[in-house]
Structure formats: C-alpha cells, structure tokens
Amino acid sequence: MKLILVFMMISLALQTVLANEATTTELNTNVVSTETSYFTKLASMYSSGKLPSLKKISGIAWSGRCFSRNEPNKAKAAGLIYRKKSVKDHGPISLGNYEFTGYSSSIVKPSYFDSIEIEALLDEDVLPSDISKLNFRNVTIEDGSLTTYFQVRKSEFQYDSYVNLRASGKYLVTEYGYRNSDEEVTTRRCYFFIPEYHR
C-alpha cells in the first residue's frame, strides 16, 4: 500500500513538472511573437525584397506607414513619389532621369495620405504643417536597392543620410538612416502601397 502511495505521489509530481514546462514553453512562444515589432518585420521584408522597376513605380503617390527604431509599433503617416525628371534628351544613356521624394507626418492620422492624389500633393496645399515642402532628390541604384542620399542638420551636427528602397510583393519597403563613420545606422523603416483611388 505504501508502495502504491509513493508511486502515486511521484506520478503527480511528474505531471506537475510537465505541466509547468508546457506553460513556460507557451509563455516563451508568446513573448517571442509579441517582441516581433513592425520595425523588425519590415527589416525582414526589405532583406528579401527586390529592385523595383523605376518606370513601373513612377508617377504614383504611394501612401504608407513608418515605424522608428525608438517606437517600433507606432505608425506615422507617410508617402513617397518617384517621377521622371524634366531633362534634356540625351538619349538612352542619360543618367539621373528619375527623382524621389519621401515625406512623413506625426501630427495627422496614419491614413492621412491614403486618399490624396498626386496632383494635390505636388501643389503642396494638402501637406501637414510639419512638412514644409516636397524635396525631390536624385536616385541611384546600389546593392539591389533604389538609393537616395541627402544631408540632415540637427543642432550643430550634419548627417549624411540615406533612404534605400526595395519591392516586397505589392509593397515598397524603405530603410532610412545615416552613416556613422563606415557604418549605416537604420533609424526608420516604412512600407508603401498604391492607394485605393489609383488601383
């Protein structure tokens, strides 16, 4: 009888240990899934993305959402436009025929740019007050991405900044950042889609 009682106690203890292990595994799995932020998800989309055709993505006001390294799950309203530059006809070997502008705002709802057409954006009448104007910059192709370089001044410092763009399925994905010595530091990632009015 004592032997049966000891066996039952051991069996009960073993069941408790196994149940605790299962609960711990489940909690760990949940922690991993909640730690996968939009900032991280966009890094994966960008990494597996492809070089888009400038011709196919130009002339559209792409709407999007941006997520920063510091606030990886907080969406900001964003948009971008690629367009063909008005340049002299230098034939098929012309360089720098396309230009790019990207813009984002933290004072409007994330869907703000979803219903604004390109003509209204180019007139700049609908821009939120934290966007002074659309700055178009030259586009290059580097490491399988469309790349634009620009400079940002903060206080007395000036940073060499960049935006890299790739296509991931029907989305465009960008990485914004700056160069620190020889290292590139990504501070913001965004994704863009064609708004309903253009589909």
Across the range 22-35, mean pLDDT stands at 37
Top pLDDT among 98 and 32 is at 98
Task: Tell me the per-residue pLDDT of 124-171, one tens digit each, with 9 for 90 and over.
Answer: 989 999 999 999 999 999 999 999 988 876 666 677 899 999 999 999
pLDDT at 172 over 90: yes
The whole-number pLDDT of residue 152 equals 74
CATH of the domain at 172: 2.40.128
pLDDT at 5 over 60: no
Cα separations (Å) of 21 from 8, 14, 48, 97? 20, 11, 35, 61
In a domain, 43, yes or no: yes
Boundaries of domain holding 131: 38-198
What is the Cα–Cα distance from 150 to 129, expressed in whole angstroms? 22
In a domain, 136, yes or no: yes
For tokens 């020889």, the residue is 182
In a domain, 185, yes or no: yes
Please, what is the average pLDDT of the chain? 80
pTM: 0.75
In a domain, 18, yes or no: no
Domain count, the chain: 1
In a domain, 21, yes or no: no
Task: Tell me the per-residue pLDDT of 36-55, one tens digit each, with 9 for 90 and over.
Answer: 899 999 999 999 999 999 99
Rounded to the nearest 5 percent, the helix, strand and coil shares of the chain are: 30, 35, 30
Residue 24's pLDDT band, with cuts at 50, 70 and 90, is: very low
CB contact at 8 A, 151 and 161: yes
In a domain, 14, yes or no: no
pLDDT at 11 over 70: no
In a domain, 132, yes or no: yes
Q: How far apart are the first and last CA of the chain?
A: 77
Residue 96's pLDDT band, with cuts at 50, 70 and 90, is: low
Q: What are phi and psi of 184, to 5 degrees?
A: -100, 130
The whole-number pLDDT of residue 189 equals 97
Q: What percent of the chain has pLDDT over 90?
A: 60
What sign does the dihedral 130-134-136-141 (CA atoms) show?
Answer: positive
In a domain, 122, yes or no: yes
